Homo-oligomer: A and B are copies of this chain.
Amino acid sequence: MDLATIIGLVGGTVLLLVSIIAGGSALIFFNVPSVLIVFGGTLAATFIKFTMADVIGSMNVAMKAFLVKLEAPENIITEMVEFTRIAKKEGLIALEKEKPSDPFSVKALRYLSDGYDEGLIADMLNKDIRLMSQRHTTGQNVFKGMGDSAPAFGMVGTLIGLVQMLTSMSDPSSIGPSMAVALLTTLYGAVIANLIALPIADKLALRSEQERMNKSIIVEAAIAINRGVSPMVLEESLKIFLTPKERQKAITATAGAE
């Protein structure tokens, strides 16, 4: 699972709990009707905004994003350069026997060994990337939509609480606690949006971008293999995708391997 996400989620939650408990009575911060309004309202709005499949799908996407680690781009480059060597030596047909880890590489190799022409390979792989991005965007949008709805229903809950409090202000000593309860929904909404929904939406976007880059490397390599580019030129060209730091690492690794 993604370490930074755990640290953030656990750390942020602990922090809030500590600051609540340190202030004394922690129980006042838990109120069932308030939880229902904010969580329920946010879920309701999310169901109207999306389809059932999207909502469930986004949870799966989020789970997968936190549990499945993405291949490092260095490794993909190394793998693709290796395939170039094989194609150069034994012909494109030899790629048929290779078993790359990534299903997208599998598809690229199959197109190559099947002898599809360059335009078709690029077209089909790029369309695959574009449509994957669209699907990922839906996942992000579900979380972003929750992040928009949660504070809104927090405010709705607070308004309901305030109206109830204001209409029955006979006992002045009850004003404080009533208002405290009314504010709880705003607090819940702010925490759900800013500690959970919006950050997860951002993480999914980032991950989708990394996956897109990994796949772009594979497309570029597949086209180069088809054109018969030399492994060295391909490696040079693909390394541009890496950060200066990753390039350094990759060079060291290559040097060590030789």
Spell out A's residues near B (CB within 8 Å): 2-5, 7-9, 11-12, 15-16, 18-20, 22-25, 28-29, 33, 36-37, 40-41, 43-52, 54-55, 57, 124, 127-128, 131, 135, 138, 145, 148-149, 152-153, 155-157, 159-169, 176-177, 179-180, 183-184, 186-187, 190-191, 193-196, 198-200, 202-203, 206, 236-237, 240-241, 243
On whether the beta carbons of B191 and A46 are closer than 8 Å, the reply is no
Q: Which B residues touch A7, using CB under 8 A?
A: 44, 47, 52
Known: A49-B203, A186-B159. A176 touches B180 (CB 8 A): no
Q: Which residue of B lies closest to A241 (CB)?
A: B131
Return 29 A-B CB contacts under 8 Å, by A number.
A3-B52, A4-B52, A4-B55, A7-B47, A8-B46, A8-B49, A12-B41, A15-B41, A15-B44, A19-B37, A20-B160, A22-B33, A23-B33, A23-B161, A25-B168, A41-B195, A44-B195, A49-B202, A49-B203, A54-B206, A135-B243, A156-B187, A156-B190, A159-B186, A159-B187, A159-B190, A160-B187, A166-B180, A167-B177
Q: Shortest 10 CB-CB distances between A and B: which pairs?
A: A12-B44, A8-B47, A8-B48, A48-B199, A166-B180, A152-B194, A49-B202, A169-B176, A159-B187, A166-B176
Q: How far is the CA of A114 from the CA of B159 in the complex (A)?
A: 63
On whether the beta carbons of A40 and B11 are closer than 8 Å, the reply is yes
Q: Which B residues touch A55, using CB under 8 A?
A: 4
Q: Which residue of B lies closest to A39 (CB)?
A: B15
Q: Which residue of B lies closest to A130 (CB)?
A: B240
On whether the beta carbons of A160 and B9 are closer than 8 Å, the reply is no
Known: A4-B48, A24-B164. A237 touches B159 (CB 8 A): no
